[in-house]
Amino acid sequence: MRAATIRDGGVVVAEHPDPQPGPGEVLVRVRAAGLNGADQMQVRGFYPPPPGSGVPEDIPGLELAGEVAEVGRNVTRFRPGDRVMAIVAGAGQAELAVVHERQLMPVPDGLGWADAGGFPEVFLTAYDAIFGQGCLQAGDRLLVHGAAGGVGTAAVQLGVTTGARVIATVRNPDSRDAVAALGAEQVIAPENFAEHGPFDVILELVGATNLAENVSSIATSGRIVVIGMSAGASAELNLGELMHKRGRISASTLRGRPLEEKAILARQVEKRVLPLLAAGRIRVPVDATFGLDDVAAAYNRFSTGGKVGKIVLTPSV
């Protein structure tokens, strides 16, 4: 098979042996695979696959959608020809990929491959962050930092459909209207965002530069959920202010979690989010798609910024 391959700090297309499904696993012919910030980090040598995952270190890709090509022993839910999508620990940006059947979700009828390929990582991440950690409820005020990216656009929509009041920070003025169209009540510049508080839940996708102002702008019993740190990993924290507000800070990554946790999250999203996707109440904003041969251009587009939503590779057509 052909796959996006990390070589000398960049990404090229190279041949690899076809993967084979083991017990409980499914071989997927990949039709679309989204790019994520973690892929960029892996290319630069900073974010390898989790130890023991069995994923090749030189093939990036944390999400995919495609057709079941073959099933391993003990697979009961899916069969060849089924349309599926999933998060994976890596190696998703290839013509073929092996996925445990418990991580797979069905692709809703009528959903295009690019949308399906850009859905799993960002919507599962956003769902886990704002509901699993942030305990978002109807009527809460949710602040989403860096809302023009994949996870940000997912979080905005999930918050809106839950009945929360969503405020989004977006640095690029040209991207704010697109984020507002997803249902955000306000789309603001990142500077002085605390003036728009207090917030019940803050989703931090940017990093440590926002920490002090996050703490000062949360409501009593407010929750800050950190899942991004592109703008720094260290900052000074006023514990007294956090204690006074009875606030909570949590942080997480999804990639290294055990299969059981990923399977539970997939079932939650399948039950609560896929019906919204199938009904058109949420969508996957796709900024651009690239064929596998243009993988270097896809990574370049991702890194230049200014996009709204996802960059998606289409390894098989």
In a domain, 271, yes or no: no
CATH number at residue 218: 3.40.50.720
pLDDT for the residue 229: 82
Same domain, 235 and 298: no
Q: What is the C-alpha to C-alpha distance for residues 237 and 247, in angstroms, rounded to an integer? A: 12
In a domain, 256, yes or no: no
What's the pLDDT band for 304 if we cut at 50, 70, 90? confident
Same domain, 66 and 128: no
pLDDT for the residue 316: 74
pLDDT for the residue 305: 79
In which element (H, E) is residue 310 found? strand 310-314
Whether residue 231 is predicted with pLDDT greater than 80 in this model: the reply is no
In a domain, 273, yes or no: no
In a domain, 48, yes or no: yes
Same domain, 91 and 192: no
pLDDT for the residue 234: 85
Q: CA–CA distance from 284 to each of 12, 35, 112, 123, 165 (Å)? A: 26, 13, 10, 9, 20
Structural domain boundaries, residue 16: 2-119+278-314
What is the tally of structural domains in the chain? 2
Whether residue 101 is predicted with pLDDT greater than 70 in this model: the reply is yes
Same domain, 146 and 65: no
Whether residue 91 is predicted with pLDDT greater than 80 in this model: the reply is yes
pTM: 0.95
In a domain, 109, yes or no: yes
Helix ranges restricted to H, 81-218:
113-117, 120-127, 150-162, 176-180, 211-217
Same domain, 230 and 296: no
Tens of pLDDT, residue by residue over 34-49, are 999 999 999 998 888 8
* Centroid of chain to Cα 232: 19
In a domain, 234, yes or no: yes
CA angle 15, 18, 24 (to 5 degrees): 150
In a domain, 257, yes or no: no
pLDDT for the residue 317: 56
Same domain, 238 and 301: no
In a domain, 259, yes or no: no
Share of the chain above pLDDT 90, in %: 88
